[in-house]
Amino acid sequence: MIKELIKFLEPCVTDERRDQMLAVLSERTKYLTVVLEDIYQAQNASAVLRTCDGFGIQDVHIIENRNTYDINPKVVIGASKWLDLNKYNTKSNNTLDAIKHLKAQGYRIVATTPHDNDTNLEDYDLSKGKTALVFGTEKTGVSKEVMDEADEFIKIPMFGYSESFNISVAAAVTLHHLSYQLRQSELPWQLTENEADKLYVDWLKETIKKSDLLVQEFYQRNEDYK
């Protein structure tokens, strides 16, 4: 069904736009994912989304315990519409809910914070498995729940008086290094065919005006696909 829907929608975009989407799609990954816990500064929250899009990270998991995750349109500049944003805000402990969900999908929980048993960013081994990078609040870092449930801890080596980076900077540095490392590896980091097809349809619908009407027309023409 999805292949037929793609064929139906593709003529509604220019060749240049189609080629751009396919090129970006080929670089998307779910092997790395980003988890943002209780981020309250809209500027930083939005900057992280732009970074994820720029480095091909498709999924972002947003934990809202005390703080609501707000996006600044002037900072994100539309990047969020190309990402899958997964919010956790309905449970008594949204952090544990997110961690449980990610571990069920086979992700290692990696806290980005200094720790007694931490690993320098350059030494992190991606071959251990899919990685969920957890970034915490600007003032206090990740929560005790994340610290207790983390499979590993990584830090960015620093050599000045400052003890930590702004979260948007930390995310950019971390994702630049790990996404580059991932693309140089032989790990299965690209999307599966089914994942790519579903995402391509989402992007086509995002690009085409009144796409909901076109999709409705497609199903009306193809009753067997309902």
pLDDT digits over 154-211, tens only?
A: 999 989 988 778 889 999 999 999 999 999 999 999 999 999 999 999 999 999 999 9
Residue 125 phi/psi, 5-degree rounding, is -100, 105
Most confident of 47-56, 60-69, 157-166: 47-56
- The model's confidence at residue 74, banded by pLDDT at 50, 70 and 90, is low
Judge contact between 96 and 149, C-beta under 8 A. yes
Give 90's contacts (C-beta < 8 A, 6+ positions apart).
none
What pLDDT, on the 0 to 100 scale, is given for residue 202?
96
User: Both tokens of residue 81?
Assistant: 């519409």
- The model's confidence at residue 115, banded by pLDDT at 50, 70 and 90, is low
Three-class SS state of 114:
coil
Pairwise CA distance, residues 138 & 225, whole Å: 48
What pLDDT, on the 0 to 100 scale, is given for residue 72?
65
Lowest mean pLDDT among 18-27, 48-57, 156-165: 156-165
Would the pLDDT of 111 be above 80? yes
**What sign for the dihedral angle of Cα 98, 102, 103, 107?**
negative
Residue 67 phi/psi, 5-degree rounding, is -115, 140
- The model's confidence at residue 224, banded by pLDDT at 50, 70 and 90, is low
What pLDDT, on the 0 to 100 scale, is given for residue 133?
98
Higher per-residue pLDDT: 78 or 125: 125
Please report which residue ranges of the chain form alpha helices under DSSP H: 2-9, 15-25, 42-54, 73-76, 94-104, 144-149, 167-184, 193-207, 211-221
Chain mean position to CA 208: 23
Percentage of the chain modeled with pLDDT above 90:
71
User: Both tokens of residue 106?
Assistant: 């086979």
Three-class SS state of 107:
coil
User: Both tokens of residue 225?
Assistant: 């696909």
Give 19's contacts (C-beta < 8 A, 6+ positions apart).
none
- The model's confidence at residue 13, banded by pLDDT at 50, 70 and 90, is very high
What pLDDT, on the 0 to 100 scale, is given for residue 73?
62
Would the pLDDT of 78 be above 80? no
CATH hierarchy code of domain 29-189:
3.40.1280.10
DSSP per-residue string spanning 115-161: -TT-EEGGG--GGG--EEEEE-BTTTBS-HHHHHH-SEEEE----SS
Tokens 């449980």 found at: 100
User: Both tokens of residue 203?
Assistant: 């992007």
Q: What is the pTM of this model?
A: 0.91
CA atoms within 13 A on the CB side of 168: 15
| Mean pLDDT across 128-148 | 90
Judge contact between 82 and 50, C-beta under 8 A. no
| Lateral strand order in the sheet of 32-37 | 84-88, 59-63, 32-37, 131-135, 108-112, 152-155, 119-120
